[in-house]
Structure 1
Amino acid sequence: MEYKGVLRKMQTENGSPIQYYLVFENDFIHVNQLLDKHLTIEFSGYECLNCGLNKKIFRQGYCYDCFYEVPQAADWVMKPELSTAHLDKEDRDLEYEKRVQLQPHIVYLANSSNVKVGVTRKTQVPTRWIDQGAHEAIEIVEVPNRYLAGITEVALKDHVGDKTNWRTMLKNEIKDENLVEWRDRLKQYIPEEALPYYLENNTETNLEFPVLQYPTSLKSLNLQKTPSFEGVLKGIKAQYLIFEGNTVFNVRGSEGYVVTISVL
């Protein structure tokens, strides 16, 4: 079977294990069904997720020009504390910014490679945790806008990590943590404006990834350098495909790439 389309991050459905889907314009792949099967990936060009042109992807699936124009790639996306829609101030597109920023947001702890703090829209729970490869996570606060979530994350970053070591995550070199205890210890550092939104009675969520064999070392597949790849799929974790022989492919990091995937 052969599938051709533009890569976007895999869609997910929480379950035991998590279900993954690659969605193209006219087709989709239930990726879990490809485990232990031999695949080929052929890279043939680019398609910017905004303008649709065959222009080299710069970041996040966008060409250089679009990356610096679209609101989806503005600084407040990666740094929620820079959000200004609650002040009625525009960055790139106030209508879009109000739609995204002025809705409930969660500040959470997730254990992917170590315990880290993060921010996501409430509607993206547990999708955000899945995308980060977290095997356990817990909400700390639920606030009404992105700015409050951002300043809470900044305050907590002085006392807990905010980055995932993707190599440790993919090799599954992770120890279980008591996230309820972590949450309770960090309460004292929550900013006063966000403290009324503290969640004190919730429990942690555990996630199960469809992995048959974790890699012991890592070789990252770059389609620009290796436009044709063959391998046996052994697992899916976060937004990575894990192949036999320790090769891993970051689907989200390759958004906007036009590929043909064949199942042999």
Structure 2
Amino acid sequence: MQYEGVLSKMETELGAPIQYYLTFENSFLNVNQALNKHLEISFQGYQCLNCSKKKKIFRQGFCYDCFYSSPAVGDWIMRPELSTAHLGIADRDLDYEARVQLTPHVVYLALSSDVKVGVTRKTQVPTRWIDQGACQAVSIVEVPNRYLAGITEVALKNHFVDKTNWRKMLQNDVLDLDMLTEKARVFEFLPEEVKQYFNADLDEHFVMNYPVLHYPKKVTGLNLDKTPNFAGKLVGIKGQYLIFEDGTVFNVRSFEGYVVGMNII
């Protein structure tokens, strides 16, 4: 089976196990069906996810010009505490920023290797946790805008990590913790204006089951710029990574905007 198109992050569906899909212009692939089969990946070019021009990808699937002009990749995306739409102040495009920033956001704890604090729009639960390869996750607070979520995350960074250790996550080197107990101890660390949104009685606890046949002991990232053609036996999918039998791992999200050919043997 052969597929060709522009890479974008895999779409997911919560299940036991989680289902993964690669969507191309004229086709889609349920990646779970490629498990235990040989998968060939070949790099064929670039196509910006924003302007669709065949320009070299700079970051996050965007060419250089789009990365520095599109409101979809403003600094407030990675640093929610920089959000200003609640003040009526634009970064790049106030209409766009208001639609995204002025919606309910969740601050959460996720267990992917260590316990990580993070922020996501409520509509992205549990997608955000799946994309990070979290085994478990709990919501801490639900707030009405991205700014409040951002300052909460900043406060909790003093007590929890805010980055996923991708190597440990892919090796399934995960701490054994009770996430509801972890949640219970965060109240005193919350900013005063956020404490009203904490619900100690909300025992919402997500557990994720990934389609992995076996985890590697060592991992090596596949870089299409350095290795434009790769073939290997697919043994797992976790986060936004494809895991191969030889320990090679491919982060689909890191290569958004790359045009590839895929062949399942």
**TM-score of the pair, normalised by structure 2:** 0.98
* Residues 48-57 or 107-116, more deviating: 48-57
User: Which residue in 2 is equivalent to 1:96?
Assistant: 96
Matched, 1:73 2:73: yes
SS in 2 for 1:194: helix
Output one character per residue of 1:139-160: Cα deviation in whole Å (capped at 9) or x when no partner.
0000000000000110111111
Q: What is the rounded CA distance, in whole Å, between the counterparts of 2:223 and 2:75 in structure 1? A: 26
User: Which residue in 2 is equivalent to 1:248?
Assistant: 249
Output one character per residue of 1:146-178: Cα deviation in whole Å (capped at 9) or x when no partner.
000000110111111111100000000112211
Q: Within 5 Å, give how 1:216-235 maps onto structure 2.
A: 216-235=217-236
Q: What is the rounded CA distance, in whole Å, between the counterparts of 1:71 and 1:183 in structure 2? A: 33
Output one character per residue of 1:200-239: Cα deviation in whole Å (capped at 9) or x when no partner.
1223211100000111101111011111111110000000
**TM-score of the pair, normalised by structure 1:** 0.99
User: Which residue in 1 is equivalent to 2:163?
Assistant: 163
Q: What is the rounded CA distance, in whole Å, between the counterparts of 1:152 and 1:188 in structure 2? A: 12
Q: Within 5 Å, give how 1:5-154 maps onto structure 2.
A: 5-154=5-154
Q: What is the rounded CA distance, in whole Å, between the counterparts of 2:199 and 2:10 in structure 1? A: 30
Q: Which amino acid aligns with 2:261?
A: T
Post-superposition shift, 1:192? 1.1
Q: What is the rounded CA distance, in whole Å, between the counterparts of 1:159 and 1:6 in structure 2? A: 39
**8 Å contact kept, 1:240–1:248:** yes
Post-superposition shift, 1:3? 0.5
Output one character per residue of 1:179-216: Cα deviation in whole Å (capped at 9) or x when no partner.
11111111101111111111212232111000001111
**8 Å contact kept, 1:86–1:98:** yes
Query: Which segments of structure 1 move beyond 3 Å, counting only runs of 4 or more?
Result: none
Q: Percent identity?
A: 63
Q: What is the rounded CA distance, in whole Å, between the counterparts of 1:134 and 1:125 in structure 2? A: 12
Q: What is the rounded CA distance, in whole Å, between the counterparts of 2:199 and 2:44 in structure 1? A: 48
* Residues 172-181 or 76-85, more deviating: 172-181
**8 Å contact kept, 1:139–1:199:** no
SS in 1 for 2:9: coil
Q: Which amino acid aligns with 1:183?
A: K
User: Which residue in 2 is equivalent to 1:257?
Assistant: 258
Q: Which amino acid aligns with 2:178?
A: N
Q: What is the rounded CA distance, in whole Å, between the counterparts of 2:167 and 2:229 in structure 1? A: 23
User: Which residue in 2 is equivalent to 1:201?
Assistant: 201
**8 Å contact kept, 1:7–1:258:** yes
Q: Which amino acid aligns with 1:41?
A: I
Q: Which amino acid aligns with 1:26?
A: N
Output one character per residue of 1:121-151: Cα deviation in whole Å (capped at 9) or x when no partner.
0000000000000000000000000000000
Q: Mind listing any 5+ residue stretches in structure 2 that lack a counterpart? A: none
Q: What is the rounded CA distance, in whole Å, between the counterparts of 1:150 and 1:132 in structure 2? A: 18
